Amino acid sequence: MDYIINVSGYILEGSIVTFQLYLITALLSVFLGIAGALGKISKIPLLNSFLSFYTWVFRGTPLLLQLFFAYYGLPVLGITLEPFPAAALTFTINYGAYFTEIFRGGIESIDNGQYEAAQVLGMNYRQTMSRIIIPQTVKRVLPATSNEAINLVKDSALVAVIGLGDLLRAAKVAVTRDFSIIPFIIAAVFYLIISSVIVNIFRRLENKYSVYE
Amino acid sequence: MIEAKNIYKSFAELEVLSDVSFTVNQGEVISVIGPSGSGKSTLLRCLIGLEAIDSGEIYIEGLSVKKAGRKAYQKMGMVFQGFNLFPHKTVLGNLIEAPIVVNGEDKKEVKKRAEALLEKVGLYDKKDAYPSQLSGGQKQRVAIARALAMQPDIMLFDEPTSSLDPELVGEVLTVIRDLADENITMMVVTHEMSFAQDVSDRVFFMDHGKIISDSVPEKIFVNPDSTRIQNFLTKILSQNDGSL
B85 lies within 8 A of chain A by CB: yes
Give B28's DSSP letter.
Answer: -
Distance, CA of A132 to CA of B118 (rounded, Å): 21
Start-to-end CA span in chain B (Å): 29
pLDDT tens digits, B192-217: 999 999 999 999 999 999 999 999 99
A110 lies within 8 A of chain B by CB: no
CB pairs under 8 A between A and B: 60
Scanning every residue of chain B, which has its alpha carbon at the shortest distance from the alpha carbon of A137?
B88
Mean pLDDT, residues B72-91 taken together: 96
Say if the Cβ atoms of A135 and B88 lie within 8 Å: yes
SS (H, E, C) chain A: CHHHHHHHHHHHHHHHHHHHHHHHHHHHHHHHHHHHHHHHHCCCHHHHHHHHHHHHHHHHCCHHHHHHHHHHHHHHHCCCCCHHHHHHHHHHHHHHHHHHHHHHHHHHCCCHHHHHHHHHCCCCHHHHHHHHHHHHHHHHHHHHHHHHHHHHHHHHHHHHHHCCCCHHHHHHHHHHHHCCCHHHHHHHHHHHHHHHHHHHHHHHHHHHHCCCC
- How does the average pLDDT of chain B come out, rounded? 93
Mean pLDDT, residues B79-96 taken together: 97
Mean pLDDT, residues B38-53 taken together: 96
Say if the Cβ atoms of A114 and B86 lie within 8 Å: yes
pLDDT of residue B241: 55
**Of the candidates B83, B85, B98, which has its C-beta nearest A122's C-beta?**
B98
**Of the candidates A113, A127, A212, which has its C-beta nearest B132's C-beta?**
A212
pLDDT tens digits, B138-162: 999 999 999 999 999 999 999 999 9
**Of the candidates A131, A136, A211, which has its C-beta nearest B97's C-beta?**
A131
**Of the candidates A121, A127, A136, which has its C-beta nearest B88's C-beta?**
A136
Distance, CA of B28 to CA of B217 (rounded, Å): 13
Nearest Cα to Cα of residue B50 among A57, A112, A78: A112
pLDDT of residue A160: 86
Say if the Cβ atoms of A212 and B130 lie within 8 Å: yes
**How is B49-108 classified by DSSP, letter by letter?**
TSS--SEEEEEETTEEHHHHTHHHHTTEEEE-TT----TTS-HHHHHHHHHHHTT---HH
| Chain B nearest CA to A146, separation (Å) | 20
Q: Which 35-74 residues of chain B touch chain A by CB within 8 A? A: 48-50, 70, 73-74
Scanning every residue of chain A, which has its alpha carbon at the shortest distance from the alpha carbon of B152?
A121
Q: Is the pLDDT of residue B243 over 60?
A: no
Q: Are B212 and B228 in contact (CB under 8 A)?
A: yes
**Of the candidates A116, A120, A123, which has its C-beta nearest B101's C-beta?**
A123
Q: Are B30 and B43 in contact (CB under 8 A)?
A: no
Domains of chain A: 2-209 (1.10.3720.10)
Burial class of residue B124 (count of CB atoms within 10 Å of its CB; 0-12, 13-18, 19+): middle
Structural domain boundaries of chain B? 85-151
Label residue B33 by pLDDT band (50, 70, 90). very high
Say if the Cβ atoms of B98 and A121 lie within 8 Å: yes
Give B238's DSSP letter.
Answer: H
Q: Are B153 and B185 in contact (CB under 8 A)?
A: yes
Scanning every residue of chain B, which has its alpha carbon at the shortest distance from the alpha carbon of A112?
B84
Distance, CA of A27 to CA of A132 (rounded, Å): 22
Q: Which 130-149 residues of chain A touch chain B by CB within 8 A? A: 131-132, 135-136, 139
Mean pLDDT, residues B174-201 taken together: 92
The residues with which B33 forms a beta bridge, in sequence order, are B205
Burial class of residue B200 (count of CB atoms within 10 Å of its CB; 0-12, 13-18, 19+): buried
| Chain A nearest CA to B238, separation (Å) | 32
Give chain A positions within 8 Å (CB) of B48. 120
Pick out chain A residues at pLDDT < 50.
none
Nearest Cα to Cα of residue A176 among A13, A5, A1, A7: A7
pTM for the whole structure: 0.87
Q: Is the pLDDT of residue B4 over 70?
A: yes
Q: Is B69 left (phi over 0), alpha (psi -120 to 50) or beta?
A: left
Label residue B242 by pLDDT band (50, 70, 90). very low
Distances (CA, A) of A86 to A83, A103, B3: 5, 25, 63
| B175 φ/ψ angles, rounded to the nearest 5 degrees | -65, -45
